[in-house]
Structure 1
């Protein structure tokens, strides 16, 4: 019996070492973001992880960390820059602090409609914008749909820019967002997403602005009972990789990645449209008043912003190209 046991142990050694070698060949990639696990972006990232694992025969695996587990959007970008984190998802508004051309998305009423938006983002202009961060160690991989941003408030409904006068409005850490709110008469107040619910509750800010799914999933509708669909800006979410990580991949690994990313983006955009409808239905059930204002009252008021960027050699030509694109 002892001989048989010894033989069994000897037979198991190659198997154990084989398993060890397989695990060592798997590259584990950390992807962090600040959204809820029910958000369409998070769900699409899980699909990307599954697709990449299958495409790479198990050699590449993405672990997705949601809800600011690894830091705020800005902190995650800084981790990418030093190579301590491989990937993240951030709003284009936050990325503008690292890649200057991204401030184009802070300009209100830039896109005509959804089709125009994605024709631009998926084309030559979109690729130029994704490439803009590489000199800062940030590799843009693609644009997720984040819909249009609109105002929501605690007390009085916002039916025109006049109603924003004197209101402290939460904005992202974005100069463009601050200029936009200021031009409409509000007082822009940068606050991180994770702190916003409490800030609204405690009166640190009177209002905020975001898309319907984010308004719903964050439960901000529990505090703010007025949602004004002025749809002032289209600020996409951007999937970003650290160039330290990306440049270390083989060409084959990059190909697998690009396929998984493209599939993820298409999947998320389909989910997004359903999520928008669901969000508006649910917040209305919860007692939120949905206001559909005359958008020209808002778009006319922000025209001075465009005059201010006429001398910006990077941004103004980009505006003309976007507006002239079919």
Structure 2
């Protein structure tokens, strides 16, 4: 399979054999920061365990889309996955709470929340689904691209058919902004943009660039409407196959690569933006205040879904 990384599997007399092989999947391309970080973590885990734990990395939805991988984790048919939390709301709607629009004024606010009480609370929810949380990585701030017109105000979104992930929160956000949100699996997005099935999409800059959306989109609006984490997970069944020492190593390496992956996302934003502009994309920088005002009804609607305790954690860390 293209893009597959298998670190540390060696055959033949005199070489250590892999005792446990873990497949980890994600939906992005093989040059995305997620892939690079997972490859680095896989190498470090193999070295630290003497090739007793081998992690194979499968990019580009090779193990299925987000929904399929999430359900596979729960069933134990998929060992590991790296997800935006929006992808996991199929398991529990509360898991998408961090994606409330304009919840995080800076990414540092979000880091503190996910590395603190909010991350612990969401990990407890995942644990009830037989999924263990290894570490909270980053997807980044999401921005809007389209092939219809530049976006400067919410009014500019009216009538634009915008692909969004299969998450009701995201649909409601863009309904409030006046767009025509269309849920769609990530693996279908490029072709749908190319064939004008949809007019645009919204994703972090690293994803826009790695997925080559600039080839089929003219306009990029730096809306920053949502900041999203990336949660690195392992099924309960796979976790229990590891020794305590191996579990400790995996957790330690996941945390080390969390910091490196976050740094990659931060550093790539400016670099990627320059590349997208050089490639001919028209970039606008809309004032977030007007967008934020428009989406406040979304917060009200989801108060009953997320519950007061979780919402209070978001409010606590967003100040």
Aligned with residue 217 of structure 2, among 209, 219, 224? 224
Q: Does 1:291 align with 2:284?
A: yes
Structure 1 residues 136-145 or 202-211, which shifts more? 136-145
What secondary structure, in the 3-state scheme, does the structure 2 residue paired with 1:188 have?
strand
Which residue is equivalent to 1:9? none
Please list the CA deviations of residues 185-243 of structure 1 after superposition, one character each: whole Å capped at 9, or x if unmatched.
11111111111111011111111101111111111111111111110011211111111
1:17 CA drift (Å): 9.2
Q: Does 1:263 align with 2:256?
A: yes
Q: Does 1:55 align with 2:37?
A: no
Which residue is equivalent to 1:121? 114
Which residue is equivalent to 1:243? 236
Distance 1:86 1:139 in 2: 10
CA contact (8 A) 1:169 1:189 kept: yes
CA contact (8 A) 2:148 2:160 kept: no
Aligned with residue 295 of structure 2, among 272, 287, 302? 302
Which residue is equivalent to 1:137? 130
Runs of at least 5 residues in structure 1 that lack an aligned partner in the other structure? 1-15
What secondary structure, in the 3-state scheme, does the structure 1 residue paired with 2:171 have?
helix
Distance 1:176 1:311 in 2: 13
TM-score, normalised via structure 2 length: 0.92
What secondary structure, in the 3-state scheme, does the structure 1 residue paired with 2:172 have?
helix
Which residue is equivalent to 1:105? 98
Runs of at least 5 residues in structure 2 that lack an aligned partner in the other structure? 1-10
Q: Does 1:163 align with 2:152?
A: no
Residues 196-215 of structure 1: matches in 2 within 5 Å? 196-215=189-208
Deviating above 6 A after TM superposition, structure 1's stretches of 4 or more consecutive aligned residues are none
Distance 1:315 1:221 in 2: 39
Aligned length: 308
What secondary structure, in the 3-state scheme, does the structure 2 residue paired with 1:110 have?
coil
Q: Does 1:316 align with 2:275?
A: no
Residues 264-283 of structure 1: matches in 2 within 5 Å? 264-283=257-276
Aligned with residue 68 of structure 2, among 53, 70, 75? 75
Which residue is equivalent to 2:6? none
1:105 CA drift (Å): 2.3
Distance 1:59 1:141 in 2: 19
What secondary structure, in the 3-state scheme, does the structure 2 residue paired with 1:108 have?
coil
Distance 1:134 1:299 in 2: 33
Cα RMSD over matched residues? 1.7
CA contact (8 A) 1:29 1:61 kept: yes
TM-score, normalised via structure 1 length: 0.90
Distance 2:53 2:193 in 1: 41
CA contact (8 A) 1:52 1:257 kept: yes
Which residue is equivalent to 1:182? 175
1:19 CA drift (Å): 4.2
